[in-house]
Amino acid sequence: MAPVRDSIIGVGPALRKARETRRLSLDEASRDTKLTVDRLRALEEEDFEALLGDPYVRGSLRTYAQYLGLNPNKVAEAYARHSETPSAPPPPGKLGRIEQAIAATRIRDNQRLLIVVAGTLIVVAGVFGLVSSRNASPPPAALDTAAVPVTLGAERVEAVLVANHEVDVVITVDGASPATYHLMRGETRSFAADTALVVSIAKGRTVALTVNGVDVGTPGRPGEPWERTFTPGEEIEGVSPSPGAVAGG
């Protein structure tokens, strides 16, 4: 087994812990996310240099985090803070102690100056944005999205399941072999597919379901199996779950 790299930003250990908590192997995660085992291992070990550049790293982190039930936005933001923070250059090695101390002080002063300039630009941009927003045209009227059909993303289907009760669910991704998951009350799982995502719930009204950001509610009849296939481009209506179903009875 390859040695585990020291964590730089904490993203890798969080991904590994979430996978191990769900008792998933890298092979199973690779099958479900369509990311290779080597790339998943690189994400968990924070070996980002082994991947195909910054945009691919961000996209892979989002996909893997959502699959494991983590917040993809927080994971991506943690990586972004690391990748966008330049490391301070060390003082010249051939200088004496006094010269090195002076050089280090100058580096810190330059960094402080950059921070002040960046803060000033942010304030100016905020003032300009405030003035512009006051002169902008009025925002469009809000619509009642609960009664308006919502189109799923044309590229992928992404589903988030939150168990209100202990229940078994079966997930089929892009025609692969169905995978069974035993969800405990309050547990969250995320799944994504490119062509079709089949969600089967052993007992209706036990799982709150969201598909591509659309609240599907807690589908099915109490105690009866429920199943549905979601595909890219499909139109569904957002349905607000009943208060009793959300509260878990």
241 and 154 share one domain = yes
Which two tokens mark 233?
Answer: 């481009």
- Mean pLDDT value across residues 128-151: 43
Same domain for 189 and 229, yes or no, is yes
- Please count the other Cβ atoms lying within 10 Å of the Cβ belonging to residue 168: 15
153 has a pLDDT exceeding 60: no
**Count of domains observed in the chain:** 3
pLDDT digits (tens, 9 = 90+) for 171-211: 998 888 999 999 998 888 888 888 888 999 999 999 998 88
Residue 3 in domain: no
**15-51 confidence digits (pLDDT tens):** 999 999 999 999 999 999 999 999 999 999 989 888 8
What is the average per-residue pLDDT within 166-171?
A: 94
Give which of 49, 184, 50, 73 is closest to 61, Cα–Cα: 73
Same domain, 97 and 76: no
Q: Considering the domain boundaries, does residue 140 fall inside one?
A: no
Residues 6+ apart with CB under 8 A from 152: 211, 212, 214, 230, 231, 232, 233, 234, 235, 236
Q: Summarize pLDDT for 98-116 with one digit per residue, the tens.
A: 556 656 666 666 666 666 6
Enclosing domain of residue 56? 11-83
Q: Looking at the domain assignment, is residue 5 inside a domain?
A: no
Query: How confident is the model at residue 6, as a pLDDT?
Result: 53
Judge whether 138 lies within some domain.
no
Is residue 1 a part of any domain in this protein?
Answer: no
More reliable by pLDDT, 183 or 5: 183
> Which domain CATH number covers 57?
1.10.260.40
Instruction: Tell me if 38 is assigned to some domain.
Output: yes
